[in-house]
Structure 1
Amino acid sequence: MRIKPAEGRFLRLAVVLLVAASGGIEATSFLGLGHVFAGVMTSNLALLGMAAGRGEPLDVTAALLALGGFGAGTALAAWYTRASVTSATHWPRRVMVVLVAEAVLLALGASVWGFTGGRPGEAVRDVLQCGAALAMGAQSAAMVAAGKAAAPTTYLTGTLAAYIVKGIGTGSPGLWVPLRFAALVAGAALCAVMLDKARPWALLPSVVLVMCALAVAYLPEAHPPSAAGHSA
Structure 2
Amino acid sequence: MADRAGPEDGPGRTMRIAVVVLVAASGAVETISFTALDHVFAGVMTSNLALLGMAIGRARGAGAAAALLALAGFGAGAGLVAWVTHGRTGVATHWPGRVMACLLGEAVLLAVGAGVWAAAGGAPAGVTRDVLQGGAALAMGGQAAAMVAAGRAASPTTYLTGTLAAYIVHGVGRARPDGWVPARLGALIVGAAATMGLRRAAPPWAGVLPFALVTAAALIAAGPLLRHRAAGGHRA
What's the TM-score, normalizing by structure 1? 0.93
Shift of 1:5: 5.2
Q: Which residue of 2 aligns with 1:26?
A: 30
Which amino acid in structure 1 is aligned with residue 223 of structure 2?
L
1-side partners of 2:199 and 2:126: how far apart? 18
Contact 1:118 1:200 in 2 (8 A): yes
- Give yes or no for the alignment of 1:60 onto 2:64: yes
Which amino acid in structure 2 is aligned with residue 164 of structure 1?
I
Identity of aligned residues (%): 58
2-side partners of 1:157 and 1:59: how far apart? 24
2-side partners of 1:225 and 1:65: how far apart? 39
- Give yes or no for the alignment of 1:4 onto 2:4: yes
Per-residue CA distance 1:45-104 (angstroms, 9 max, x = gap)? 001110111121111111111000000000110111012132211100000000000000
2-side partners of 1:201 and 1:36: how far apart? 21
Q: Which residue of 2 aligns with 1:155?
A: 159
Shift of 1:172: 2.2
Q: Aligned pair in 2 of structure 1 residues 138, 225: CA closer, same or farther (>3 Å)? A: closer
Shift of 1:226: 9.6
> Structure 2: any 5+ residue segments left out of the alignment?
232-236
Contact 2:5 2:92 in 1 (8 A): no
Q: Which residue of 1 aligns with 2:234?
A: none
- Normalized per residue, the structure richer in helix is 1
1-side partners of 2:110 and 2:146: how far apart? 16
2-side partners of 1:220 and 1:72: how far apart? 29
Which amino acid in structure 2 is aligned with residue 19 of structure 1?
V
2-side partners of 1:194 and 1:210: how far apart? 17
- SS of the aligned residue for 2:35 comes to helix
Which amino acid in structure 1 is aligned with residue 72 of structure 2?
G
- SS of the aligned residue for 1:146 comes to helix
2-side partners of 1:18 and 1:106: how far apart? 13
2-side partners of 1:225 and 1:111: how far apart? 34
Shift of 1:162: 0.5
Shift of 1:222: 2.6
Q: Which residue of 2 aligns with 1:111?
A: 115
2-side partners of 1:172 and 1:72: how far apart? 39
Which amino acid in structure 2 is aligned with residue 70 of structure 1?
F
Q: Which residue, 200, 209, 216 being the options, matches 1:212?
A: 216
Q: Which residue of 1 aligns with 2:172?
A: 168
Q: Aligned pair in 2 of structure 1 residues 54, 168: CA closer, same or farther (>3 Å)? A: same
Which amino acid in structure 2 is aligned with residue 189 of structure 1?
A
Contact 1:32 1:195 in 2 (8 A): no
Per-residue CA distance 1:202-229 (angstroms, 9 max, x = gap)? 11111100001001101112334998xx
Q: Which residue, 197, 204, 210 being the options, matches 1:200?
A: 204
Q: Which residue of 1 aligns with 2:129?
A: 125
Task: Give the RMSD, CA atoms, in angstroms.
Answer: 1.7
- Give yes or no for the alignment of 1:16 onto 2:20: yes
- SS of the aligned residue for 1:170 comes to coil
1-side partners of 2:105 and 2:55: how far apart? 32
Q: Aligned pair in 2 of structure 1 residues 226, 102: CA closer, same or farther (>3 Å)? A: closer
Q: Aligned pair in 2 of structure 1 residues 139, 225: CA closer, same or farther (>3 Å)? A: closer
